[in-house]
Amino acid sequence: MATSYPAVGAIKAIVTITQTSPDAVGTAAGTASSSSIDLSAYDDIFFIYTSLGAAGGLLDVYVQDLLDGVYYDLVHFNQIAVAAAAATQAACGCLHSYAVAIGSALVPALAVGTVRPGRWGKQMRLCCVAGVGTAAGAAQSVTIFGRRAR
């Protein structure tokens, strides 16, 4: 089955990735986006992150992309504070070229509020890191939008 891409220049919601954050201190990664959707085929990508709040400690939410069999940090949203209300954040993938420190697998390291520059991989997933005092997990959701320039 062929993938249906939006018209050139059109922005389209491609996929929504959801995950429940850890219910104790630790790191958990969710299920990746479908391999049938090639996110690397898009020239621009945009992320809309929705948190239903955190229970207990700080929560860090990352989008990681798959490059050569390893998941690397792509986006690190602003931290969700203790007992925070629901919130929405946005980020934009970019092709600028500069160096940033990143993590991989279940050891994310990208700075808060940062997007890794450069191309992105075909698949993406959420990785949540719950801080000290976390007592319950909460639903996290990221919708990925894409635009093709050619």
pLDDT (0 to 100) of residue 49: 92
Please determine, for residue 1, whether its predicted confidence score (pLDDT) is greater than 50.
no
The confidence score (pLDDT) of residue 6 equals 56
Asked, for residue 114, whether it belongs to a domain, the answer is yes
User: Per the domain annotation, does 58 fall within a domain?
Assistant: yes
- Give the list of residues 6+ apart from residue 60 with CB closer than 8 angstroms, or none: 76, 77, 79, 80, 108, 112, 128, 129, 131
Q: Would you say the C-alpha torsion 56, 90, 112, 141 has a positive or negative sign?
A: positive
In a domain? residue 5: no
| Domain count within the chain | 1
In a domain, 6, yes or no: no
Quote the pLDDT of residue 41.
84
Residue 1 included in any domain: no
Residue ranges making up the domain that contains 105: 13-147
pLDDT in tens, 95-128: 776 788 898 999 999 999 899 988 888 889 999 9
Task: Give domain status of residue 120, yes or no.
Answer: yes
Residue bearing the bigger pLDDT, 11 or 107: 107
How far apart (Å, rounded) are the C-alpha atoms in residues 46 and 22? 25
Instruction: Please list the residues that pair with 140 across neighbouring strands.
Output: 19, 51
- The CATH number given to whatever domain includes residue 55 is 2.60.120
Residue type, 78: N
Which whole number is the average pLDDT over 71-89?
Answer: 85
Query: Could you report the per-residue pLDDT of 31-49, keeping only the tens digit for each?
Result: 777 777 788 888 888 999 9
